[in-house]
Amino acid sequence: MQRKAIFGGRALPYALLLPQLAVTLVFFFWPAGMALYQSVLREDPFGLAAEFVWFENFAEVLSDPGYLQSLRTTAVFAASVTLLSLSAGLFLAVQADKVRRGAGLYRTLLIWPYAVAPAVAAVLWLFLFHPEIGLLGRALNAAGIPWDYRLNGGQAMALVVLAASWKQVSYNFLFFLAGLHAIPASVLEAAAIDGAKPVRRFWTVVFPLLSPTTFFLLVVNLVYAFFDTFGVIHALTRGGPGNATETLIYRVYVDGVDNLDLGGSAAQSVILMAIVVALTAIQFRYIERRVHY
Amino acid sequence: MATLALEGIRKSFGPVEVLHGIDLDVADGEMIVMVGASGCGKSTLLRLVAGLEVPTEGRILIGGRDVTALEPAERDIAMVFQNYALYPHMTVFGNMAYGLKIRGLPRAEIARRVQEAADLLGIGALLDRRPRQLSGGQRQRVAMGRAIVREPKLFLFDEPLSNLDAKLRVQMRAEIRRLQRRLGVTSLFVTHDQTEAMTLGDRLVVMNAGRAAQVATPMQVWSRPADVFVAGFIGSPAMNFLDATLTHGGTAATLRAGPVLPFADGRRAGPEGMGLVLGIRPEHVLAAAPGEAGEWEAAVTVVVELAEPLGSETVLHGRLPDGEELTARLPAAEVPALGGAAQVSLALRLPAAALHVFEASGGRRLDPVA
Amino acid sequence: MPEAPAPAPAAASRRSRPPRDWNPIHRVSWRTHLWLLLGVAVFCLPVWITLVGSTHDASTIGRGDVPLLPGAQGPENYRVAWLEGGGRFRTTPAWLMLRNSIVMAVLIAAGKIAISLLSAFAVVFFRFPGRMLAFWMIFVTLMLPVEVRIIPTFQVMVSLGLVNTMAGLTIPLIASATATLLFRQFFLTIPDELVEAAKLDGAGPLRFLRDVVLPLSRTNIAALFVILFLYGWNQYLWPLLVVNDQSLQTVVLGLARMIGNGDSQNEWNTIMATAVLSLLPPVAVVVLMQRWFVRGLTETEK
C-alpha cells in the first residue's frame, strides 16, 4: 500500500529513519549476527581461541538430554498456560457478555491484572502458595497434602503455570469479549429460531464464529508462554527443583550467563529465533487470510 | 490575478501517457471549466497546474512567469479539493489562517483577511467550529474561504461540488460563479458534470482521453461541437448519431436507414460515398405524420421502445428500421397516446438545419466548403 | 471524510445490540454474577493477601499465622520499604526502585513512540532509495526479541560501555516494529488531499508533521503510550542482564531479588509492602486510562 501525495526531499527521510535504524542495527542485527556466528564456533574456556565447528554446537545442543528435557518442559508449560488462560478467559467473557448492568465495572475488575508484571504476579502467587507463610500453601499441608513447590517438581510446574496464566486471562478475556460483541445478534436469533438449545447454540454457532479470535489468541499466548515468562520462572523457581521448570528461554540464560557456554547458548538462541520466525509466519499467514475474507 | 498558459503539456505515469500535449491560454479573470469523463486527464491537468504533479514535458506559465519547476506553495495559487481537505483538528479560523501563518503574515492582517472572507461566504459565525461540526455546504464554504484568504493569482477547483446534494449543488454553483466574477480571479474548474460546466465556464475545455477535444464557449461547444465525442458528451439526452454516406455531389447525406438529407448550410468536400456520422439532438427531432416531410427534412419511422414522460415533454427511445437507435424529445402534446402496446411505430422528421456532420473515420466535424 | 474518529467497534455494537436471550443461564442471572465475582475474587485474592500481609509484622507472617484482615504495622512497614528497602540484604529503598522503574518505563515508551513516529513518517510520506529495505529491517525486529539473543546483546552492551547505565537499560529496547507498523497504518489513512492542501498552504514535511500529523495522532500516541509504559515497566530479563548497580535497580526485579530463595525468615512484611507499591503505578495506568489501554491493546496486536 502506498500513498500518492508525498513530500520531496533527499536527506530528510534518511535523517528521520536514522534513530530507529541505528538502534535496530546496533541492538538487533549485530547481536543476532553474533549469535549466528558464535553458534558455529567453539571457544576455549579462557576465550582466547575460537574454532570453527560447523553445526557441532547445534548437534550437541539437540542431542543433550537436558535440552530435550527442557524442550518437553517448555511444551508442557506453554500448552498448560495457553489452555488455562484461554479457557478461563473465554468462560469469563461469555459470562460478562450476558451482563448488562455493571458490565463496565466487571471489565475493569477483570482486566487490571494484565498490568501486573509476570515476575510480580509470580511474587503475589508465592505469597499465597508459600508452604510456610502462604495461606493456601499452609492450608494444603494442613489438609494432609504435602505441598512444597521448592521440592516437588510437579507442584513447581503447577505454580509457575498458575502465576503465568493469571495475567494472561485478562488479556484473553478482553479479546474474547470484543469477539463476542462482534457476533451479530441476528445470527444468534436465527439459531434460536432453528430450535438449537442454548448450550448447543454456544458450541455450534458462537464458538465457531469466535474461531478467528481464538486462533489469534492461541498464537499470542504461545508466544507469551515461550518468551515472556522468564520473570515468572526466575522469580519463583529458578528452573528448579532439579530442572523441573527449566524452559528453553531459562536455559539459554543459564547456559550463557551462569555456565558461560557461548557456543551452546548461541546455538540455542538461533533455535529460538527459528521458533519465533515460525510463530510470526503463522500469525501473519493468519492475518493475511483474515484480510482476504 | 494573472493569465495562465499551458504549452505542450504531456504527462506520463510510468509507461502510460495520460496527457498527450495540451495547449491552453487563459485570460486574466477568466473562468475555464475542464470537463470530461473520469480518467480523461482533467484532474491530472489541474494537479499539474497546482504543482502537485510534475509534467513530463511542456511549460506552465502563470502571469507570464514559468512556474513549471516551482513548488505548489511558490506558485501563488489556491485550490479547493473535492473532499475539501480541511484540517480536522483545526477550527474554521485555523483552517483558513494556516497558509497565511506559514507565509508569516502579521496576526492582525490574518484576522482581517479571514474575517472578510468569512463574511463574504456567510460563515463568519462559524469561525470557532471544527470541520466535523459543520454541514457539507458549510465545509465547502470553508474550503472556498481557505482559498480566498490567500488572495492568489489563480483558483483551482477540483470537482468541489460533487459531494453536495443536488439542491445545494445548484446553489453553490451560482455562488461560486458570483464570487469568481466579483473577485475577478482567474480560475480553473474541473468537473464531470456538463450542467456545471455549461453554467460556470466562460470557456470550456472538453477533455477526451488525454487531449483537449474542444476549447470554446459553452454555447459554441453546444452548437458547433468539434467532434463526435464532444457532441455526445455535451447535451442531455445525448445527441443521436446516425450512420450515413456523402451523396449527391457532397450536397446531401444518405442515411443508412434510407432517407436522404440535404445539407442546409452548404456542400461538404469529400469523395462520393464517404462515410459520415450525422448528429441530431433529441430536442431537434420533430413529430410528423408519415410522408409529410418537407424539402429540408427527412422522414423516418421509428419503433418506440420506451417513452419517458417528463411532464411538458416526453423523451422517446426508438429504433430505426435498420436497427439504429434514435431518441426524440417532443412536446407532450405532440406525442400520440402510446398505451401499453409494444411495437408502436411513429413517424418523425429530422430537420436538415439542426444537423451536425462528422467524418465517420476520426469523428471530426465536417464543415461546409466556404 | 475521515474527520470524525470511528467509534470503537465494541462500543458501537454494544449500543445496537438487543438483549441476549440465547444464553443458557440467562434466566438465572445470579449464577452469571456469581461466576464473574468468583473470577474477580481469584484475581484479587493474591493482592488482598499481599495488602494484608504488608500491614503486619515480619514474625506474624514468618510464623505462618497468615492473617486475613489488616494489622497495625502498615505505616511502619511502608516507611521501611519506602525509605530503607527490605529483604535479606537491605537492598534498594522502594522510592528509588520506583523512580528507576518510572524513568525507565517513560523513557522506553516515549523513545519508542518518538523514533517509530519519525520512521513511519519517513516511510509513508517520502519515496527514496532503500525505503522498502528500511521498512523490512524494522519489521524483522519483530522476530528478534531480547529473549532469544540474550548473550550476544549483552556482549554488545559491554563493548559499548552501556552496562549499568540508564541508557543501556532503555535505548536497546526502544526500537519498535509494532509501533512503527501502527503509525504507518494510521498515516496511510490520512487523505492525500490533506497532504496536498498543506503543500499548497506552504507547509514543508516537518511543518506538516508538527501541525497536522502529530495532532491527528494524539489518540494513537496515548493508546500506545499506555501499552508501551506497561511493556517498559514489566521488563525483567533485560534489567537483570544489564544492571547490577543497586542504584539502578528497578522495582520488578528488585522485588524478586528481595525474595531470594523464598526463605521463610525473609522480612515478608517489607517485601509485601514493596510488592503493593510496585503494583500501584501500572494498575493505576490501566484503570485510569482504560479507554486508551483497550484501544492500544487491540490495535497493536492486530
Question: What does the pLDDT look like over A151-164, one tens digit per residue?
Answer: 888 888 999 999 99
Are the beta carbons of A13 and C128 separated by less than 8 Å?
yes
DSSP H or E run through C197: helix C192-200
Is there a contact between C196 and B85 if contact means CB atoms under 8 Å apart? yes
- The Cα–Cα gap between B282 and B232 comes to 11
Question: How far does Cα B307 stand from its chain's mean position?
Answer: 27
Taking CB atoms and an 8 Å limit, are B85 and C3 in contact across chains? no
Render each residue's pLDDT in chain A as its tens digit; 293 residues.
Answer: 567 778 888 899 999 999 999 999 988 888 888 888 888 877 666 666 677 777 777 888 888 888 888 889 999 999 999 999 999 999 999 888 887 777 778 888 888 888 888 888 888 888 888 888 888 888 888 888 888 888 888 888 999 999 999 889 998 998 898 888 888 878 777 877 877 777 788 888 888 888 888 888 888 888 888 888 888 898 888 877 888 888 888 888 888 888 777 777 888 888 888 888 888 787 777 665 544 33
Which residues are registered as beta bridge partners of B187? B31, B155
Position B202 scores a pLDDT of 94
- The alpha-helical segments, DSSP class H, found in B1-135 are 42-50, 92-102, 107-121
CATH superfamily of B4-232: P-loop containing nucleotide triphosphate hydrolases (3.40.50.300)
Whether C38 maps to a domain, the answer reads no
> Cα separation of B253 and B273, whole Å?
9
Cα dihedral A106→A108→A113→A115 (10° resolution): 170
- For residue C7, the distance in angstroms to the closest alpha carbon of chain B comes to 14
Window C:1-40, CB contacts with B under 8 Å = 1-4
Domain definitions of chain B by residue range: 4-232, 237-359
Q: What is the pLDDT of residues B51-87, one digit of tens each?
A: 988 999 999 999 999 999 998 888 999 999 988 899 9
Residues of B in contact with C215 (CB under 8 A): 89
How far C16 CA sits from the closest chain A CA (Å)? 9
Measured in angstroms, the CA of B32 and the nearest CA of chain C are apart by 20
Spatial CA neighbour of A179 closest among A223, A220, A214 = A214
Whether chain A has a CB inside 8 Å of the CB on C51: the answer is no
Q: Where are the alpha helices (DSSP H) in B122-233?
A: 136-148, 166-183, 194-200, 218-223, 228-233
Residue pair C185/C120 in contact (Cβ under 8 Å)? The answer is: no
Q: Rounded to 5 degrees, what angle do the CA atoms A150, A151, A156 make?
A: 55
DSSP B193: -
Touching A (3+ Cβ pairs <8 A), the chains are: C
Cβ(B240)–Cβ(B285) below 8 Å: yes
For the purposes of burial, counting CB atoms within 10 Å of the CB of B67, is it exposed (0-12), middle (13-18) or buried (19 or more)?
buried
Residue B185 CA to residue B78 CA, distance in Å, equals 11
Question: Which residues are paired to B349 by β-bridges?
Answer: B286, B299
DSSP tally for chain A: helices H, then strands E: 15, 2
Q: Do A230 and C236 touch (CB under 8 A)?
A: yes
To the nearest whole angstrom, how far is the Cα of C18 from the nearest Cα of chain B?
A: 29
Fold (CATH) for A66-291? MetI-like fold (1.10.3720)
Query: What CATH number should be reported for the domain holding residue C239?
Result: 1.10.3720.10
Q: What percent of chain C has pLDDT over 90?
A: 18
**Residue A227 DSSP one-character state:** H
Cβ distance C10 to A110 less than 8 Å, yes or no, reads: no
Asked, for residue C10, whether it belongs to a domain, the answer is: no
**pLDDT tens track for C241-287:** 888 888 888 888 888 888 877 676 777 888 888 888 888 999 888 88
Contacts of C203 in chain B (CB under 8 A): 73, 98, 102
Of C191, C201, C215, the CB nearest to B83: C191
How far apart are the CA of B329 and the nearest CA of chain C, in angstroms?
Answer: 40
CA distance A75 to chain C (A): 17
CATH superfamily of domain region B237-359:
Nucleic acid-binding proteins (2.40.50.140)
CB pairs under 8 A between B and C: 66
Number of domains in chain C: 1
Mean pLDDT of C214-219: 91
Residue C215 sits at the chain A interface (C-beta within 8 Å): no
Instruction: Find chain C residues with C-beta within 8 A of A3's C-beta.
Output: 124-125, 187-188, 190, 192, 195
Measured between CA atoms, how close is C127 to chain B, in angstroms? 14
Is the Cβ of C152 closer than 8 Å to some Cβ of chain A? yes
User: Is the sign of the CA dihedral B174, B177, B183, B187 positive or negative?
Assistant: positive
Given CB atoms, is B85 within the 8 Å cutoff of chain C?
yes
- The answer to whether the beta carbons of residues B42 and B24 sit under 8 Å apart is no
Q: Does the pLDDT of residue B341 top 70, yes or no?
A: no
Residues paired with B261 in a beta bridge? B253
Instruction: Decide if C73 is inside a domain.
Output: no
CB contact under 8 A, A117 and C126: no
Nearest to C150 among A106, A228, A253 (CB): A253
Q: Do A124 and C275 touch (CB under 8 A)?
A: yes
Rounded-to-integer distance, Cα C147 and Cα A252, Å:
9
Alpha-carbon span C88 to C90, nearest angstrom:
6
Cβ of C203 under 8 Å from any chain B Cβ?
yes
Domain regions of chain A by residue span = 66-291
d(CA A293, CA B318): 46
**Cα A209 from Cα A199, distance rounded (Å):** 15
Which residue range forms the structural domain that includes residue C115?
102-255+276-300
B299: part of which helix (H) or strand (E)? strand B297-309
Q: Flag if B99 and C200 touch (Cβ within 8 Å).
A: yes
